[in-house]
């Protein structure tokens, strides 16, 4: 086969990594008089690297991070944050163990940076993830509920290995609920209490919630978040 025929065949077979590296690898191999097997190994490595890069790009794009944050750029000095623990989380061990991670702290302590940094590191390594602003997520669930499509978004979320949710403090619980224990033999009462048990949890907690106005990344107020949606207007 001539060079152009080889390149056309690689394109047809979607071996884009090999095609992009073919001239360089073949040229260096011929100059060194390499045998065929080292040349093939180099082409395979080029294709593997290309596919890994495309996979990472696809996962990162699908994660919908608002901005990219790197743990390496977080300043741990003079903070009570355990750097070793954060870097351990970035390996994705909590995903394998099916555990949740919650970052708790005051305004400006780096919760969002660490959340995105850890999630991005796990997504780059192997996982399929998705980032949500909590208020936006609640609005999507409310719109889904109003359209009579409850459960569809929840089904999509089950396809992800990792869900990162930011700004939990902006969700006001206007109608606090207390756990209610109902005996199994009192079916009529149980039906009344758990009539909406099939709905996604945020749907039941989010009546009347709407997206907060965009603050264009201005500094947040040092005051605690107001818990009732009417107080936030």
Give residue-wise pLDDT tens across range 137-187. Answer: 888 888 888 888 888 888 888 899 999 998 876 555 444 444 434 344 433
Does residue 193 register a pLDDT over 70? no
- Any residues with CB less than 8 A from the CB of 104 and at least 6 apart, and which? 111
Q: What is the pLDDT of residues 81-120, one digit of tens each?
A: 999 999 999 999 999 898 999 888 888 888 999 999 999 9
Gap between the Cα atoms of 12 and 146, Å rounded: 47
**Residues contacting 148, CB < 8 A, separation 6+:** none
What's the pLDDT score for residue 188? 39
User: 147 and 135 in contact (C-beta within 8 Å)?
Assistant: no
Q: What is the pLDDT of residue 13?
A: 86
Distance, in Å, from the CA atom of 66 to the CA atom of 135, rounded to the nearest integer, reads: 14
CA 217 to chain CA mean position, Å = 21
Query: What are phi and psi for residue 93, nearest 5 degrees?
Result: -60, -30
Q: How far apart are CA 48 and CA 130, in angstroms?
A: 25
Smallest Cα–Cα separation from 130: which of 109, 111, 158, 151?
Answer: 158
**pLDDT, tens digit, for every residue of 41-61?**
888 999 999 999 999 999 999
Percent of the chain at pLDDT above 70? 72
Q: Binning pLDDT at 50, 70 and 90, where does residue 190 land?
A: very low
pLDDT at position 186, please?
A: 39
Tokens representing 146? 């109003």
Tokens found for residue 220: 């947040």
Tokens of 36: 């065929």
> pLDDT by residue (tens digit) across 57-80?
999 999 999 999 999 899 998 888
DSSP reduced 3-state for 110: coil
| Mean local confidence (pLDDT), 122-128 | 91
* pLDDT for res 134: 87
Q: Cα–Cα distance between 227 and 207 in angstroms, integer?
A: 13
Does pLDDT of 202 surpass 80? no
d(CA 155, CA 137): 14
Give whichever of 170-174, 204-208, 228-232 has the largest mean pLDDT. 170-174
pLDDT for the residue numbered 116: 93
């Amino acid at each position: 086969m001539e060079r152009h025929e080889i390149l056309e065949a690689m394109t047809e077979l979607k071996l884009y990594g090999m095609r992009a590296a073919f001239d360089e690898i073949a040229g260096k191999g011929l100059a060194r008089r390499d045998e065929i097997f080292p040349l093939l190994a180099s082409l395979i490595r080029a294709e593997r690297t290309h596919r890994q890069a495309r996979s990472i790009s696809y996962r990162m794009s699908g994660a919908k991070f608002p901005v990219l944050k790197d743990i390496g750029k977080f300043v741990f000095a003079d903070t009570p944050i355990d750097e070793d623990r954060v870097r351990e989380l970035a390996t994705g061990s909590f995903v394998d163990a099916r555990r949740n991670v919650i970052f708790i702290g005051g305004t400006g302590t780096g919760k969002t940076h660490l959340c995105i940094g850890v999630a991005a590191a796990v997504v780059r390594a192997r996982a399929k993830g998705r980032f949500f602003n909590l208020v936006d997520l609640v609005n999507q669930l409310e719109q889904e509920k109003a359209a009579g499509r409850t459960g569809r978004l929840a089904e999509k979320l089950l396809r992800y290995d990792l869900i990162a949710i930011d700004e939990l403090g902006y969700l006001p619980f206007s109608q606090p609920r207390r756990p209610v224990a109902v005996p199994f033999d009192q079916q009529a009462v149980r039906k009344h209490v758990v009539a909406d048990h099939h709905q996604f949890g945020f749907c039941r907690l989010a009546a009347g919630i709407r997206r907060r106005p965009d603050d264009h990344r201005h500094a947040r107020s040092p005051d605690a978040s107001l818990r009732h949606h009417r107080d936030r207007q």
